Amino acid sequence: MKNIFLQTLKLTVICIVCFSGIYTAIIYGVAQAMPNRGKGETISANGKTYYANIGQEFKSEGYFNARPSAVAYNAAGSGGSNKGPSNPEYLADAQKRIDSILSQNPDMQKKDIPVEMVTASASGLDPHISVLSAKFQMKRIAKARNIKVAELETLIENNTDKPLLRLFGPEKINVLKLNIALDKLANK
């Protein structure tokens, strides 16, 4: 019994040192070598500083909307809703989002809504949307800002992040960066 206790104690101490000390130091060191020293990408616009790697909420008709958030875009409480697709509350939330999107975009039909615009991401803080989701919102924004749809298409194209090595992952658009570029386009 004493022998097992000592082995367990040694293993516990080794795990604490490795996972709480050495691993943490390695990750911290790698973060310090990265741009912004591991503090995320910040963007300054209109006298404010934003984190580009954290989803932001945009309510105005003149802006592109981000994915819904299960945590109200609160970075301190990152997480999904943990509700399954058959959960009545989840279905009610999705239906409210669909109704809201259709009221904001009356030219569109329910079948045209990209699924990501009615479902929250796993973290609740996803800063990106797909190109399809951005194009879905173009008519509403063009009408609200009195901008040509062709200009918005160019704006979307210029702000699309390509997949890593053009192979890994989908094309995506950072909503914050896109909306800042939209403000610059409107101020020209």
* Residue 174: Cβ within 10 Å count: 22
Q: Do 152 and 59 belong to one domain?
A: yes
pLDDT (average), residues 94-123: 87
What's the confidence (pLDDT) of residue 188? 65
Do 24 and 34 belong together in one domain? yes
pLDDT at 117 over 80: yes
- Put simply, whether the predicted model's pTM sits higher than 0.85 gets the answer no
Number of domains observed in the structure of the chain: 2
What average pLDDT does this structure show over 138-147?
Answer: 90
- Residues 84, 164 within the same domain: yes
**Structural domain span for residue 11:** 1-39
pLDDT 10s digits, 151-169: 999 999 999 988 877 778 8
Same domain, 11 and 97: no
Burial 79-115 (b: 16+ CB within 10 A, else e): eebeeeeeeeebeebbeebeeebeeebeeeeeeebbe
Pair (4, 45) in one structural domain:
no
Same domain, 87 and 27: no
